[in-house]
Structure 1
């Protein structure tokens, strides 16, 4: 079986478990029209990727059998509309409460993030703080790289923005990220390119406070 076909079969198995709930190897074999041995090979690969969980079920007759369900990690493989929901809720808030309320909402998020990460910046040089900020943003999916261009000056690039759809509509997201960086780094931070404004990345120039 070629790699593309194997991947396709595994996707079908995941979809079956999502829509039908717990299934045994026998159940899957019957529905897929392939041997139980082939099903077990796919199951093994999916378990290795932490996408499946197994449970031993006792039956009225015969030996207990294993049934398989999706692990929490597998849920992330299915389409989600979280960003659209967020935008819809923010639109409702804007319509009902006005722009000032949206500003306060994003500023509150900024304050929470600042409180969460401030301790990671303590007793560090600016270079160490920039490195720590890169770690924080990478933990959150921003795909960061950074470099020092001269003494006390750094270039910080984010190649992905997990909240791009929100930032495209609500510029407060970008404004608060810039303020968060300035406060966490205790430095001058200038954004020269922005994904939400059509850039290829979010690019920041960071330098020592004067």
Structure 2
């Protein structure tokens, strides 16, 4: 359960998950056996935080009644497991095309994502590009830090988590995706110095 969602709000989200057409305050007050005011207070928080939204107004006894549904964020609140499916696809792909072509495929995927993000890097110098890259990596789920110490050879970037750690442990060439993405966005050679999937304490990259 997310830390910013209470147990009662979790119940509300579960009811809305099971009712894709939406529910009203009265519907949930009856289902949860609490007051309308109590439901409304929870709705204010859940709507503010982006978990639910008004989808329509129905008329009951001549008065409009707001109907609430889950947002994409509300749907994503409930855990999803993709790692096993991704591992199945990658294992099958590697068997089909072989290790060398698999490595090249990961590099191609990194390049394709870079193509979509190039507009955010145009007209920027290297240091600005590195800052923007750190923002991109954070958006993907990485916790990163840029090392600009004078004695460092070039610029270094460390990632203290791996967003596909289990996959990378089985398929080390998945890391080629990151290297290709970073190299293309910075228009510089990027070398991977360490890898958490291989037992290192972080994933570190040197920007030449």
TM range (shorter): 0.7 to 0.9
Q: Is residue 14 of structure 1 aligned with residue 13 of structure 2?
A: yes
Q: Structure 1 residue 40: deviation in Å?
A: 0.8
**What SS is found at the alignment partner of 1:156?**
strand
Where do 1:123-134 residues align within 5 Å? 123-134=123-134
2:199 equivalent to 1:198: yes
Correspondence list, 1:54-69, <5 A: 54=54, 55-59=56-60, 61-69=61-69
Match of 1:156 in 2: 157
Report 1 or 2 for greater relative contact order, CA contacts < 8 Å, sequence distance ≥ 6.
Answer: 2
RMSD, matched Cα = 2.5
- Report deviation, 1:97: 3.8
Correspondence list, 1:22-171, <5 A? 22-54=22-54, 55-59=56-60, 61-150=61-150, 153-171=154-172
Farther-moved stretch of structure 1 (121-130 vs 100-109): 121-130
Task: Please give the alpha-carbon distance, in whole angstroms, between the structure 2 residues aligned to 1:31 and 1:123.
Answer: 56
In 1: Cα distance, 2:51 partner to 2:118 partner: 35
Give 5+ residue unaligned stretches, structure 2. none
The alpha-carbon deviation at position 45 of structure 1 amounts to 0.8
TM-score (norm 1): 0.81
Task: Check whether the contact 1:23–1:68 (CA below 8 A) recurs between aligned residues.
Answer: yes
- The offset of 1:187, in angstroms, is 4.0
Q: Shift of the alpha carbon at 1:64?
A: 2.9
The reply on whether 1:172 has 2:173 as its aligned counterpart is yes
